[in-house]
Structure 1
Amino acid sequence: MILKEQANCKVLHLGPGNPQYQYRLGDGWVERRTWGPPEKDLGILVDEKLDMSRQCVPAAQKANCILGCIKRSMASRLREVILPLYSALVRPHLEYCVQLWSPQHKKDMDLLERVQRRVMKMIRGMEHLC
């Protein structure tokens, strides 16, 4: 009998010297997964090389979509209006688990910073800072 918890669990072995133990959960064995397409765990895409570049693109896309909604729906471009919306709705997507997937490549950092520059352009009086 496979429990719901067992169906949601997979073991991903890292490193060439890994003994690749088999693990149990309850009465059954946890599925061992060979590396293939990236696995999503806690909303973070993980591949066999632990390269987190794949995480930056979806995070920036989602943040840009929300930023577009804010731009279309808000008539005011005052800092007091845009900044709280950015902080509450956009930044969480850019910062979600950033301690784990911290952007390591320049292209990834530039991608995320472009979102922040877009916010600055939206705020009246801060356009020149971009």
Structure 2
Amino acid sequence: MSGVPQESVLGPALFNIFVGDMDSGIKCTLSKFADNTKLCGVVNMLEGRDAIQRDLDRLERWARANRMKFNKAECKVLHLGWGNPKHNYRLGREWIESSLEKKNWGCWWMINHMSWQRALAAQKANCMLDCIKRNVTSGLREVILPLYSALMRPHLQYCIQLWGSQYKKDMDLLERVQRRATKVMRGLEHLSHKDRLRELG
């Protein structure tokens, strides 16, 4: 059986020790988080494709030697970047299915654009703001600012290094959420939009 035992402190720790040598001999980038494994590589020539396939073969041999199984139904190939040749890969004898999107640690990875992730971040932050407006009667900066920092900002900043805004329309979407938050605070009416955003830090 594979997986991390739930509701246990010792179980996941022992599992991490057990899979600690999984990346031995791997040439591409291997990311491990609990029982989740990601293999990443750059493919601009056939050598890159062959390197990824060799590492997949190594992982399959490691799993067999350690009597583990990869959940092949969960394994997906995500081809990122313009002009990607979209090679096929296999894990063991089974071909890995390609996907246009994949949710990874709460962030959506999508082919060639991350606008969906930005829209989702804005939507969650707006929901938090609506919750604050419904439940907090005070509009004082000293009250609203800590709530914004604790409840809204995490949604706007989570994994921003990955999906960070490249287009003005996406930046405007996120700034609209922040402007809404400044309108809840009393005493900022005389400030310009930029100065209001600065108040949020």
Which TM-score tier does this pair reach, normalised by the shorter chain?
0.7 to 0.9
Aligned to 2:77: 11
The answer to whether the 8 Å contact 1:9/1:30 transfers is no
Deviation (angstroms), 1:31? 6.2
Aligned to 1:47: 110
CA 1:128 to 1:118, structure 2 compared with 1: closer, same or farther past 3 Å?
A: farther
CA 1:31 to 1:60, structure 2 compared with 1: closer, same or farther past 3 Å?
A: farther
Structure 1 letter corresponding to 2:97: R
1:22 to 46, 65, 90: 90
The answer to whether the 8 Å contact 1:11/1:30 transfers is no
Q: Percent identity?
A: 56
The answer to whether the 8 Å contact 1:78/1:123 transfers is yes
User: 1:41-87: per-residue Cα shift (whole Å, max 9, x none)?
Assistant: 122222222x1111111110110011011011111100000000000
In structure 2, what is the Cα distance between the partners aligned to 1:34 and 1:46? 13
Q: Secondary structure at the match of 1:128?
A: coil
The answer to whether the 8 Å contact 1:82/1:123 transfers is yes
In structure 2, what is the Cα distance between the partners aligned to 1:77 and 1:31? 57
1:86 aligns with 2:152: no
Structure 1 letter corresponding to 2:183: K
The answer to whether the 8 Å contact 2:76/2:96 transfers is yes
In structure 2, what is the Cα distance between the partners aligned to 1:100 and 1:55? 10
Query: Which has the higher mean CA deviation after the structures are superposed, 39-48 or 56-65?
Result: 39-48
Aligned to 2:123: 61
Q: Structure 2: 5+ residue runs without aligned partners?
A: 4-34, 36-69, 194-201
1:34 aligns with 2:98: yes
Higher helix share: 1
Greater relative contact order structure (CA < 8 Å, 6+ sep): 1
Q: Secondary structure at the match of 2:103?
A: strand
Aligned to 1:70: 132
Aligned to 1:107: 169
Structure 2 letter corresponding to 1:33: E
Q: Structure 1: 5+ residue runs without aligned partners?
A: none
The answer to whether the 8 Å contact 2:75/2:97 transfers is no
Structure 2 letter corresponding to 1:39: K
Deviation (angstroms), 1:21? 4.1
In structure 1, what is the Cα distance between the partners aligned to 2:126 and 2:105? 21
CA radius of gyration, larger in: 2
CA RMSD in angstroms comes to: 2.3
CA 1:121 to 1:19, structure 2 compared with 1: closer, same or farther past 3 Å?
A: same
